Amino acid sequence: MQELFTVNNLWMMMATILVFIMHLGFASLEAGLTRAKNTVNILFKNTIIPAIGLLTYALVGFNLMYPGAGFEGSIFGFAGFGLSLPEGWDSSNYNIGYTYYTDFIFQAMFAATAATIVSGAVAERIKLGPFIFFSILYVAICYPIVGMWKWGGGFLNTLDTPFYDLAGSTIVHSVGGWGALIGASLLGPRVGKYTEKGMSAMPGHNLPLATFGVFLLWFGWFGFNGGSVLSADPGAVSKVFVTTSIAAASGAFGALLISYLLFKSYDITMVLNGILGGLVGITAGADQMGVGESSIIGFIAGGLIVLAVVFFDKVKVDDPVGAISVHLVGGIWGTLAVGIFGDLAGWDQFLSQLTGVGAVGLFCVLFSGLILYTLKRTVGIRVDQREEVEGLDINEHGMRAYPDFASKD
């Protein structure tokens, strides 16, 4: 029994390391898909967000998300500030699969992801101070409350047919996606993005870096989904590895097909986001799907991401990296797919999945809207036009990512 406990705990810690690496993937992807004059700003946000996530999750988030059995079926609970083992427990009897501290650090790696998703959608024009303030509240309060509704035994977990989300298509990705949608909408588009002549492309400055970021994210997703099995069970973990990879690969081809039909070009940025869309799409039900079902989910997700990017540009919601399309649209699709495909498929399950999507969406829109709108009306959330045109690096940070190279952007 002790040997099994050790193996399970070791795998959970390895999965934690993989999820941590995803933050480097997000930083690389966002930096690569934005302009050179904003690179330092992107890297700064993606550095400070994991720090915010760890500290706030330790202070309040973990006990908001896992308040204890006394709050089963509730919409809110809180077990107190800080980290402390339940009375009478120690690391060996906390859980049959892993220690208390392993549980915390694995979940803490997830916590910062929601704010990281928002970072990409509001890139190149948001003030750093208000963004950090929003991120603190979003990671410390919004994400843990939503997580409690399912993973902490809350009301979504006690529906007649329980809502299902293995690793967070809704609980992580759509939480970030809703915040990203509200943030991008309240900020407005970048200067020059939409004109009377139509949309102006603002390509990223480093596609190799963006590609590197996507492969880092794909690599980290093995821990994101595989770790969410919460044990080192060889059958379950290996199946999740396979379904995760199949969905990612299929997402690439879904995006490739739809983008080629629309634009008659082989767009690497669409394929990269198609891979991420496939990964987000399979995250809710990676342990419930077979190979064929995973390929369908991933392929549809990849195509949806392309269509979503086009849609958001039509309604003039400016998202420099496609974060809303990938994480919100992909997250909703992946959550609903649990009720359509796999071991849990059925009308009752689909309705439960739809309930979860709606409840999380409503709460996140209200929470992020309240915070960001208040900031907008008070301190402001957008840099002025001169700072935006010159670049956030030199104005917000007093430095450039590439000081030895001149750039038109």
* Domain count across the chain: 1
Is residue 154 one of the residues assigned to a domain?
Answer: yes
Residue 124 pLDDT level (bands cut at 50, 70, 90): very high
State yes or no: pLDDT of 172 exceeds 70: yes
Residue 69 has a pLDDT of: 87
State yes or no: pLDDT of 343 exceeds 90: yes
Residue 405 has a pLDDT of: 77
Amino acid sitting at position 297: I
CA-based nearest residue to 361, from 324, 407, 318:
324
Q: Which residues contact 131 (CB under 8 A, 6 or more apart)?
A: 45, 119, 122, 381
Token duo for residue 48: 């400070």
Q: How far apart are CA 154 and CA 75, in angstroms?
A: 6
Residue 325 pLDDT level (bands cut at 50, 70, 90): very high
Is residue 404 one of the residues assigned to a domain?
Answer: no
Is residue 269 one of the residues assigned to a domain?
Answer: yes
Is residue 80 one of the residues assigned to a domain?
Answer: yes
Is residue 37 one of the residues assigned to a domain?
Answer: yes
Are 12 and 106 spatial neighbours (Cβ–Cβ below 8 Å)? Answer: yes
Which residues sit opposite 382 in a β-bridge?
126
Is residue 349 one of the residues assigned to a domain?
Answer: yes
The average confidence (pLDDT) of the chain is 94
- pLDDT, tens digit, for every residue of 247-280? 999 999 999 999 999 999 999 999 999 999 999 9
Q: Which residues contact 331 (CB under 8 A, 6 or more apart)?
A: 169, 170, 172, 173, 174, 177, 280, 281, 283, 284
- pLDDT, tens digit, for every residue of 296-309? 999 999 999 999 99
- Its sign, for the CA torsion 46, 52, 53, 55, is positive
- pLDDT, tens digit, for every residue of 212-247? 999 999 999 999 999 999 999 999 999 999 999 999
Residue 113 φ then ψ, to 5°:
-60, -40
Q: How far apart are CA 378 and CA 285, in angstroms?
A: 42
Is residue 27 one of the residues assigned to a domain?
Answer: yes
Helix ranges (DSSP H) in 192-346:
207-226, 234-263, 268-283, 291-314, 323, 330-337
State yes or no: pLDDT of 20 exceeds 70: yes
Token duo for residue 238: 């290996």
Is residue 403 one of the residues assigned to a domain?
Answer: no
- pLDDT, tens digit, for every residue of 350-360? 999 999 999 99
Residue 127 φ then ψ, to 5°:
-70, 140
Residue 113 pLDDT level (bands cut at 50, 70, 90): confident
Residue 86 has a pLDDT of: 66
State yes or no: pLDDT of 91 exceeds 80: no
- pLDDT, tens digit, for every residue of 74-83? 999 999 999 8
CATH classification at residue 199: 1.10.3430.10
Residue 404 has a pLDDT of: 83
CA-based nearest residue to 244, from 269, 268, 219:
219
Residue 88 has a pLDDT of: 63
Token duo for residue 89: 């427990």
Domain ranges, residue 2: 1-397
Q: How far apart are CA 106 and CA 84, in angstroms?
A: 16
pTM for this structure? Answer: 0.96
